[in-house]
Structure 1
Amino acid sequence: MTNSLVSDQESELATLLAAYQEQFPDAESPLSYMMGFGPEQLCTILREANGRKIVFSYPGLDQGVLDGCAYHYKEASDDVERGNPITLQELLYARGLPAAAKTKLVRHRDTSGKIDINDLYRNHRPAFLDYQRQQGNRVFDKCDFLVACLGEPGSQSRFVGVFQVLGIERETEEHFYYHLVEVPGFADLKERVIFDWGRAAISWHQWLRPEVGKAVLEIQPKPFSQPFTDYLDFTLSFAELTQLVTSQSPRDEWCRMLSATAGVYLILDQSTGKQYIGSASGTEGIWGRWKDYVATQGHGGNVELVKLLAADAHHGRHFQFTVLMTLPKTMTRPEVIKREYLFMKKLGSRANGLRACLGIG
């Protein structure tokens, strides 16, 4: 690229950034994600924003792998900042958190790849609580309460509880161990409230001030408890798949990742050992196909599965879903079906036990 083209591009980027920051003064700067996109693509993203706010994220950040940046535009109807948003403070104060108390927001998110915070919180709660109370500095000394949350993509945060700070329990040469007691009365909000942390997403703690409202982006049904880690390292019972589909919004990890890929999947009937090999393509990928199974109580339009559910409407409780192979969504339907047929050959007769014909996915 010539020097003049570079100069023109830098000038356009500066102009687009200035206009964007003027429109969204509290938004995180797109320059923060330059490493993921580069100036030319960032110019394109800003041009195509067309008055919409841009939400950036690194899908692999929780694993400490900056392997690609993702973004989407917030439509005006979804942007709570343009109206009169519900705030986190409203929800917490209405349930008894004293507005005059000295309260800190803490956002747990490890970017080193050493700790899986979601797994720690969901599956090893005592270890999570110990992680939270153990600090290298006296950051909670002046606090009456902590409002704990888990870091989500971009500046989103998920509320997980309120804790009273009762001082330092013990200290070592390297750490201070605070005595934290969870405050009852917030169970209906835990894990459901997604709010905007604000511009300083790199900072893991900040004061909760009554006059600076933290906009609530979404109040979800009780979220799916299992964090998404990789396409090939999970199985889901039909009950879990149903909970997953009914609890996810388009911005959540499972929905985003399963929508991003086509693929070949397996349904195992655990009551008989029979298997069904299916495939997914189209705009919503695996996510869209699996939603069909939930909407039809388990059969997804497959003839043999329809027969099973006609005989026993609750037979879907025996089904287990897993991904066998991911494929680009740019693949044609015949190309996807070829991979589906390959897995049917590899897995043999049991893989044909629940299907009447090839190609219905």
Structure 2
Amino acid sequence: MQKYVNLLVVKWKNFSRVWRYVDPNKVKSIPIYQILPKPYHLLDLEFPGFNKIKMRYPDLKRVINQPEWKQALSGVYGVYLITDLSNGQLYVGSAYGEDGIYGRWCTYLTSGYDKYENESGDYPNKRLRDLVRKRGIQYIKQNFQYSLLEIFPKNEMGKSNALTRENYWKEMVDSRYHGYNAN
């Protein structure tokens, strides 16, 4: 059975306690649901495609530096959505820096917001900064979910589109009035 370690999925519910059966007759009675192609903890390390990214903080933190993820996310500009799952508030942002979406999300995964963001001499995401200062990064880790709304090629037109569409999405989801966008 060693070759099935981390690959075997069984249909079994025992809510009252953690279990480990050694009786071969008991083990044989547990129905096999699936045999995975690779260990379960590696399944979601593959990049699923831009339109399928909807991940909570700990899950994104676990995969973002995997080569396939890093390559895909750093190769595009885009508009993203951060959802606070505890209260439904939204934050819409755009990524058009050297490392594309990858660079932007790495910043958020490190500190919860971009400490160095500057827009016309003003700090644009005040509400995210204030949330982290008030509730701490642990709040972000427990409650934030990240997804992509749109992606664009890494060129001047892509940068322009990312900025234009960011404002469009802020209006569409009303994140300035019912979310964390302050600009």
Q: TM-score range by the shorter chain?
A: 0.5 to 0.7
Q: Aligned residue for 2:107?
A: 292
Offset at residue 283 of structure 1 (A): 2.4
Q: Aligned residue for 1:4?
A: none
Out of 47, 53, 75, the residue aligned to residue 228 of structure 1 is 47
Q: Aligned residue for 1:356?
A: 182
Offset at residue 330 of structure 1 (A): 0.4
Q: Do the aligned partners of residues 226 and 351 (structure 1) sit closer, same or farther apart at CA in structure 2, a change above 3 Å counting?
A: farther
Structure 2: distance between partners of 1:285 and 1:299: 16
Matched, 1:272 2:87: yes
* More helix by percentage: 2
Out of 304, 308, 322, the residue aligned to residue 131 of structure 2 is 308
Q: Do the aligned partners of residues 123 and 315 (structure 1) sit closer, same or farther apart at CA in structure 2, a change above 3 Å counting?
A: farther
* Number of residue-to-residue matches in the alignment: 143
* More strand by percentage: 1
* Deviations 1:44-73 (CA, angstroms, capped at 9, x unpaired): xxxxxxxxxxxxxxxxxxxxxxxxxxxxxx
* Deviations 1:210-245 (CA, angstroms, capped at 9, x unpaired): xxxxxxxxxxxx868342121011211111122223
Offset at residue 352 of structure 1 (A): 5.3
What letter corresponds to residue 63 of structure 2 in structure 1? L
Q: Secondary structure at the match of 1:266?
A: strand
Matched, 1:257 2:75: no
8 Å Cα contact 1:274/1:351 also seen in 2: no
What letter corresponds to residue 35 of structure 2 in structure 1? A
Structure 2: distance between partners of 1:128 and 1:258: 27
Report the structure number with the largest CA radius of gyration: 1
Matched, 1:338 2:164: yes
Q: Aligned residue for 1:17?
A: none
Structure 1: distance between partners of 2:36 and 2:77: 35
Structure 1: distance between partners of 2:106 and 2:176: 24
Offset at residue 305 of structure 1 (A): 1.1
Q: Do the aligned partners of residues 351 and 336 (structure 1) sit closer, same or farther apart at CA in structure 2, a change above 3 Å counting?
A: farther
Q: Do the aligned partners of residues 287 and 349 (structure 1) sit closer, same or farther apart at CA in structure 2, a change above 3 Å counting?
A: closer
Q: Do the aligned partners of residues 349 and 356 (structure 1) sit closer, same or farther apart at CA in structure 2, a change above 3 Å counting?
A: closer
Offset at residue 304 of structure 1 (A): 0.9
What letter corresponds to residue 114 of structure 2 in structure 1? G
Structure 2: distance between partners of 1:224 and 1:307: 36
Offset at residue 351 of structure 1 (A): 7.1
* Deviations 1:278-330 (CA, angstroms, capped at 9, x unpaired): 0001221100110111221x123332111111111111021100000011110
* Deviations 1:117-146 (CA, angstroms, capped at 9, x unpaired): xxxx698983336xxxxxxxxxxxxxxxxx
RMSD: 2.8
Structure 1: distance between partners of 2:169 and 2:161: 13
Structure 2: distance between partners of 1:122 and 1:229: 22
Out of 304, 326, 331, the residue aligned to residue 151 of structure 2 is 326
Offset at residue 350 of structure 1 (A): 6.6
Q: Which structure's relative contact order is higher, taking Cα pairs within 8 Å and 6+ residues apart?
A: 2
What letter corresponds to residue 168 of structure 2 in structure 1? L
Residue segments in structure 1 that go unaligned for 5+ positions in a row: 1-120, 130-149, 151-159, 161-190, 192-221
Structure 2: distance between partners of 1:123 and 1:268: 31
Please identify, of 306-315 and 347-356, the stretch whose mean Cα deviation from structure 2 is larger: 347-356
